[in-house]
Amino acid sequence: MKTSGSETKSLGTPKVFGTGGAWDGVLAPGVQLGRVKPVVMAGPCMFESWELGLEVGRAMKAQCEALGFSYVFKSSYDKANRTSKGTERGPGLQQGLEWLARIREELGVPVLTDVHSPEQAREAGAVVDVVQIPAFLCEQRELLVAAAATGKVVQVKKGQHASPEQVLRVARFLEACGNPRVILCERGTSLGYNNLVFDPRNLLEMAREGHAVCFDGTHAAQLPGAGQGVSSGLRHVIPALVRAAVAVGVDAVFLEVHTDPDNALSDAATQLPLTMASEILERIARLVSH
Amino acid sequence: MNVSSSCVALWHTATPQTPALLAVSPAFDTPLGEGFPAGALSLRDPFRWKLDTTSASTGLTQLLDDATKLAALKACETACDTVREEGNKVPFGVYVSSVSEVALAAASRAAFLYVPGEVCRQADVLDACVKAGLPVALERGPFLPPSDMVRASQKLAGLDVLLVDAGGVNGYADRVVDPRGLWILKETGSPFGLHLGEALAPQGAQYEWKPRWLEDARFVRPLVLTARALGACAYVFPFEGNAGLNVFWEALQEARQETVR
């Protein structure tokens, strides 16, 4: 492995995360966060069907194994904050958690999902390995308390409206709640109406107190609400954004992947087809190997 | 927007000349005091829903059980009983950010529900508000285009809804009030207003490199004049009783008295 300056990075030397190094960055046995090989969190935006989840999960797992990345399956059981009333929300809590548990068992990979209420946090926390706080709700106190109480890894999406310091405060709060297993996730910041910008400085700011940082490449390319009642996006910029984030340094990347994105029930404009997701992973594999 | 006959109405009588005034208390149990503006409504946060820079919430690392939340609602009632105008209690509303909080608030003496911007698209919370049947003040999320407020408010069909603009994201820890956005809210046909406190000093906003010139009460007057000219009929502002931060109220009073040419 090449050295970078006077520092030698070794896959066998875990970094410690969190304030005071309270966490070793292990998401599950054999799955550890780190900049040398960022963990890949990938899956469909909405868990539309068992078949979709399984196909995407299998493909992503295979690709990650081939390239030496650790893999976490992600999908949402409830899109609780759709732009428009009446749009599809997903299979619901019970069915979604059942499917996530099956994915975990059949593919042998950790799973991640987002929660929108303390009650959901409690139920999901019993099933998944990573509980995710949605961006809009990243400062909602009771949701954070409940997520921390699960004892699972908590990934916080930085709100589009929030500064990096605000999510650092969230991380400190989760630690104060007794859970140091925190990942802060950059997913783009509001840039006028219906637009987002990826500010690479945030990756440094969010990491400055030792917390693990993830980059959400698909949501950072969104054009919120620009699609006449749905969000639109710029899928073609996602590879470049992800490469940029990995070059700056992240401990994980987050991608939404679908077998037929143009006909997806949510985030159709930014979910990645399997081929594109594979190409992105191949590019970042080459990037981190140098 | 049509208000269902079975729902309580509160905002529909507000006009630009006689706006609804929502005074935000610094703590949920702060007594109103004799200086509380006549005719104003009290807005409180008994559930401490959001992390901010104060230890009141950043030190609150436990879930509040229902008994504690009910006690906090009772404290809001007691606080609003400290001032009686014409023998009536001062109506109060509460911030709600979850389904259970809506239910608790609806069972109390709360006169209205205030849905903060970050929660304005949470379908379950809005459904709960519809079930509760109380008037709702729905704040536009700082990340939400004004046009999307039409869609957000559609989730509250049948209720008496006040749309509140608290400014939009303008870089980190900053907000800007966009007159175009206020006009879009006007075009919805719903009463709409401006959150002066959030627009000038977003709660919980934190950014080390941001100049602090925006926390400046001299901008209250131009914002109120702008909002009034565009048809705003409500203002939300911080109020700390007889002493403390009442510059918002003073500036609001002056602006209301000015003639719009």
CB contacts, 8 Å: A154 with chain B: none
Specify the range with the lowest mean pLDDT, choosing from A80-84, A197-201, B77-81, B227-231. Answer: A80-84
Residue B243's pLDDT band (cuts 50, 70, 90): very low
A150/A123 Cα distance (integer angstroms): 9
- Judging contacts by C-beta atoms under 8 Å, the chain B residues touching residue A92 are none
Residue A139 with chain B: CB contacts under 8 Å? 50-52, 118, 204
Domains of chain B (ranges; CATH) run 20-257 (3.20.20.70)
Cα–Cα distance between B92 and B109 in angstroms, integer?
8
Does the beta-carbon distance from B169 to A161 stay under 8 Å?
A: yes
Per the CB < 8 A criterion, the answer to whether B156 and B133 are in contact is no
pLDDT at residue A11, rounded to an integer? 45
**Which of A141, A172, A186 would you mutate first to test chain B, the one with the most B CBs within 10 A?**
A141
Shortest Cα distance, chain A CAs vs residue B258, angstroms: 32
The sign of the CA dihedral A158, A159, A160, A162 is: negative
Sign of the CA dihedral with A214 first, then A48, A144, and B43 last: positive
Q: Where are the alpha helices (DSSP H) in A77-163?
A: 93-107, 118-125, 141-149
Strand segments, DSSP code E, in B4-118 are 20-24, 41-44, 84-85, 88-89, 92-95, 112-115
Instruction: Give me the phi and psi of A266, to 5 degrees please.
Output: -155, 150
pTM of the model: 0.93
Tokens for B16, please give them.
Answer: 């630009």
Interchain contact B60–A (C-beta under 8 A): yes
Tens of pLDDT, residue by residue over A128-167, are 999 999 999 999 999 999 999 999 999 999 999 999 999 9
A84: its two tokens: 């428009």
All residues of chain B having their beta carbon less than 8 Å from the beta carbon of residue A162 are: 172
What tokens does B77 get? 């009632």
Report DSSP letters for B116-137, one per residue: -GGGTT-HHHHHHHHHH---EE
Tokens of A240: 């470049």
Q: Are B225 and B249 in contact (CB under 8 A)?
A: no
Q: What percent of chain A has pLDDT over 70?
A: 92
DSSP string, B37-61: PTTPEEEE-TT--B--SSHHHHT--
DSSP summary character for residue B213: G
As a whole number, the mean pLDDT across chain B is 86
Closest-CA distance of chain A to residue B88, Å: 34
Residue with tokens 């104003």: B40
**DSSP element (H, E) containing A42:** strand A39-43
User: Could you report the per-residue pLDDT of B157-211, keeping only the tens digit for each?
Assistant: 889 999 999 999 999 989 999 999 999 999 999 999 999 989 888 888 888 887 6
Nearest CA in chain A to B64: A142
Task: Give the pLDDT confidence score for residue A3 in this predicted structure.
Answer: 32
Check residue A30 and report its DSSP letter.
T
Residue type at position B233: C
Cα angle B241, B247, B251; round to 5 = 125
Does A146 contact B63 at a Cβ distance shorter than 8 Å?
yes
CATH number of A40-77+90-116+149-288: 3.20.20.70
- Check CB contact under 8 Å for A142 and B148: no
- Whether chain A has a CB inside 8 Å of the CB on B183: the answer is no
What CA–CA distance (Å, rounded) separates B120 from B141? 6
Q: Is B127 on the interface with A (CB under 8 A)?
A: no
Average pLDDT score over residue span A34-59: 97
Q: DSSP labels for A153-190?
A: EEEEEPPTT--HHHHHHHHHHHHHTT---EEEEE--EE
Element housing A248 (H / E): helix A238-248
Q: Which residues pair with A73 in a beta bridge?
A: A42, A111
The CA R_g of chain A, rounded to the nearest whole Å, is: 17
Q: Which of B 222-251 lie inside 8 A of A, CB atoms?
A: none
Q: Which two tokens stand for residue A15?
A: 């970094």
Residue with tokens 């958690």: A97
pLDDT at residue B12, as a whole number: 82
Name every chain A residue with its beta carbon within 8 A of the beta carbon of B214: none
| A145 chain-B contacts, CB cut-off 8 A | 60-63
pLDDT bin (cut points 50, 70, 90) of residue A37 is: very high
Mark yes or no for CB contact B143/A159 under 8 Å.
yes
Strand-pairing partners, residue A153, are A130
